[in-house]
Amino acid sequence: MERQMVKAFIPNSFWHNPALIDQPHPVKLTLLWIISNIDTRENMTGMFSLCPKKFSFDCGLEPNWLHDTIAALPDWFIVEGDKCLYKHFIAEQFGTGKALESSKCAIAIRRRLATQPKAFQKAILALHPELKPMPCPCHAHTKGSQTHSTPALPLPSGREPLPSGREPLPSGREPLPSGGEPNPSGGEPNPSGGAGIGKGIGKGIGIGIGIGIGEGECEGGNGVTRLIIALPSTVEEVIAYGKTIGKTEECCRDFWAHYEGQARLGPNGEKYWVTSGGVTVTNWPAKLSGFGGLRREETKKTASKNAAAELDSIRCELQWQTDPARVKELRKRRDELM
């Protein structure tokens, strides 16, 4: 899947910001580089890698100006190892409040955010609470039990449900030993408690339908109850399970970012995952086993483009690099890519 990348937007207020008026020109140029460099635009949240050599090559400034700019504006940045977060990026590029929430890029931003350091996530969500996982009022969750049910359909007037939750059979009809109602279309009885399903036409679906996922048990009735397998708490848990079914770490991280990015919250604060179509994910291991198959060709194309971009960067650096050891390293990498 090709990664989404935004076009950098420099707001008019940038040149009139009181915090920048008295700053030297290298600081302003460094900020423009931070906003518009490919790392920040591809990430979409304002996170970028601290790479003084690349910065110096792009801007023609001394490498120390990158760290000096961050030190001069401490309230604008958060540093975590070799990564840095420019906190104003989302507001400048996508807006805030309703404008950000309704932006087509909001889902992509949530996916990127799920893979970033906790300190960056906390800072971004404090500035933009609209990026938190969206609650879905149409699902009811039971706190502490990963169980939810869809509302039951009302019974016809004058009908009372049985203690098991199943509506009584029509007058004169007896349940089969298997628990299923006979199917007028000629199908076999259904052991789940509903009617048998016909051979060609689904007219014989019974009133009580039980659906069990995993090892849990559930009882059919007028509504449908589904037991949800507990969601993984960290990406490492996904990676650990993925190794048992032959999934790569990169695939597991993409899986985590995809579903964490569109996670939702129930009324009691229980988080659950949904598919792109809004269907609740009840069995994430099964989703992981089939994840990535439709994206192989796109992944190959993306890898090819990334390799081409890296090759161009290496060729540019070879034009000015004078360190023999670095030149040797660049030539070796160039030969690998070619």
Cα-trace Rg, the chain: 28
CB contact burial 114-153 (16+ within 10 A = b; e otherwise): bbbeeebbebbeeebebbebeeeeebebeeeebbbbeeee
- Per-residue pLDDT averaged across 303-310, rounded? 77
Per the model's pLDDT, the better-predicted residue between 167 and 209 turns out to be 167
Q: What is the pLDDT of residue 79?
A: 93
- Per-residue pLDDT averaged across 213-222, rounded? 41
Q: What is the pLDDT of residue 254?
A: 85
Q: Give kind and range of the element (H or E) at residue 226.
A: strand 225-227
- Per-residue pLDDT averaged across 170-180, rounded? 52
Q: Give kind and range of the element (H or E) at residue 83.
A: strand 83-86
What is the Cα–Cα distance from 100 to 130, expressed in whole angstroms? 8
Per the model's pLDDT, the better-predicted residue between 193 and 93 turns out to be 93
Q: Give kind and range of the element (H or E) at residue 123.
A: helix 118-127
* Highest mean pLDDT, choosing among 137-146, 229-238, 289-298: 229-238
What is the Cα–Cα distance from 89 to 77, expressed in whole angstroms? 10
Distances (CA, A) of 334 to 53, 317, 328: 18, 11, 10
What is the Cα–Cα distance from 111 to 122, expressed in whole angstroms? 15
Contact predicate 247/287, CB 8 Å? no
Q: Give kind and range of the element (H or E) at residue 85.
A: strand 83-86
Residue 201 has pLDDT above 90, yes or no: no
DSSP 186-220: S-PPPTTSSPPPPSS-TT---S-B----TT-----
Residue 223 has pLDDT above 50, yes or no: no
- Residue 28's pLDDT band, with cuts at 50, 70 and 90, is very high
Q: What is the pLDDT of residue 199?
A: 43
Of residues 206, 229, 226, 208, the one with CA closest to residue 217: 226
Residue 142 has pLDDT above 60, yes or no: no
Under DSSP, is residue 265 helix (H, G, I), strand (E, B) or coil? strand
Q: What is the CB neighbour count within 10 angstroms for residue 189?
A: 21
Please state whether beta strands 77-80 and 83-86 pair in parallel, antiparallel, or not at all (unpaired): antiparallel
Residue 100 has pLDDT above 50, yes or no: yes
Q: What is the pLDDT of residue 161?
A: 56
Of residues 293, 205, 198, 197, the one with CA closest to residue 245: 293
- Residue 322's pLDDT band, with cuts at 50, 70 and 90, is confident
Of residues 90, 86, 116, the one with CA closest to residue 103: 90
Per the model's pLDDT, the better-predicted residue between 221 and 315 turns out to be 315
For the record, the structure tokens of 69 come out as 């700019």
The whole-model pTM stands at: 0.42
pLDDT-wise least confident of 27-41, 42-56, 134-148, 296-310: 134-148
- Per-residue pLDDT averaged across 182-198, rounded? 47
Residue 192 has pLDDT above 70, yes or no: no
